[in-house]
Amino acid sequence: MKASHRIAGIVAVVVSSVLLIAFTYIYDWFPTQLTPASGKIDNLYKLLTAVSIPFFVIIVAFMVFCVLEFRVDPSDPPDKDGEPIHGSTKLELIWTGVPLFIILLLGIYSWIVLDQVEAKQKNPLLINVTGQQFIWNYEYVKDGAEKVDVKTSGDLVVPVNKPLEFRITSLDVIHSFWVPAARLKRDATAGVVTPLRFTPQKTGSYDIVCTELCGVGHATMRGKLKVVSKADWVKWLAGQKGGKPGGGTGGGGPDGKSIFTSNGCGGCHKLAAANGAGTTGPSLEGNGISAAQAREGIVDPGAKLATGFPNVMPATFGKSLSKEELDALVMFLVESGK
Ligand code: CUA
pLDDT (tens digit, 9 = 90+) per residue, 196-233? 999 999 999 999 999 999 988 888 888 899 999 999 99
Ligand 1 atom at shortest distance from the alpha carbon of 213: 2
Q: 45 alpha carbon to ligand 1 midpoint, in Å?
A: 25
Contacts of 8 (CB under 8 A, 6+ apart): none
Alpha helices in 27-144 (DSSP H): 36-69, 89-117
Q: How confident is the model at residue 336 (pLDDT cuts 50, 70, 90)?
A: confident
- pLDDT value of residue 1: 66
- The pLDDT assigned to 245 comes to 46
Helix and strand totals (H; E) in the chain: 8, 12
Distance CA 78, CA 183 (A): 55
* Ligand 1 atom with the shortest distance to the CA of 131: 1
223 close to 179: Cβ distance less than 8 angstroms: no
Where residue 46 falls among pLDDT bands split at 50, 70, 90? very high
Higher pLDDT, 338 or 58: 58
Query: Ligand 1 mean position to 326 CA, how many Å?
Result: 26
281 band by pLDDT with thresholds 50, 70 and 90: confident
Model pLDDT, residue 249? 41
- What share of the chain has pLDDT > 90, as a percent? 43
Task: Indicate if ligand 1 lies below 6 Å from the C-beta of 182.
Answer: no
CB distance 164 to ligand 1 below 6 Å = no
Phi, psi (rounded to 5 degrees) for 4: -65, -35
Determine whether the shortest distance from the Cβ of 131 to ligand 1 is under 6 A. yes
pTM: 0.72
Per DSSP, 199 falls in state: -
| Structure confidence at residue 251 (pLDDT) | 47
Answer whether 221 contacts ligand 1 (Cβ < 6 A). Answer: yes
Whether residue 145 contacts residue 126, with contact meaning beta carbons closer than 8 Å, is answered with no
* Residues 173 and 137 sit within 8 Å (Cβ to Cβ): no
Asked whether the predicted pLDDT for residue 250 surpasses 70, the reply is: no
Q: How confident is the model at residue 92 (pLDDT cuts 50, 70, 90)?
A: very high
Ligand 1 neighbourhood includes 214 CB (under 6 angstroms) = yes
| Residues 6 or more apart in contact with residue 124 via CB below 8 angstroms | 144, 162, 163, 164, 165, 197
- Span 303-332, average pLDDT: 83
**pLDDT tops 90 at residue 292:** no
Please name the residue whose Cα sits nearest to atom 1 of ligand 1.
175
Contact of 291 with 298, CB cutoff 8 Å: no
The span from the CA of 68 to the CA of 242, in Å, is 75
Residue 256 forms beta bridges with which residues? none
Q: Which residues contact 266 (CB under 8 A, 6 or more apart)?
A: 135, 153, 154, 260, 274, 275, 276, 277, 278
- Specify the pLDDT at position 252: 56
What is the pLDDT, as a whole number, of residue 248? 39
Return the minimum-mean-pLDDT range out of 61-75, 109-123, 194-208: 61-75
Task: Tell whether ligand 1 has an atom less than 6 A from the beta carbon of residue 175.
Answer: yes
Q: Which atom of ligand 1 is nearest to the CA of 217?
A: 2
Instruction: Between 249 and 42, name the one with better pLDDT.
Output: 42
pLDDT for res 253: 66
Q: Is 183 left (phi over 0), alpha (psi -120 to 50) or beta?
A: left
Sign of the C-alpha dihedral, residues 259, 261, 265, 269? positive
The residues pairing with 165 across neighbouring beta strands, listed in sequence order, are 126, 197
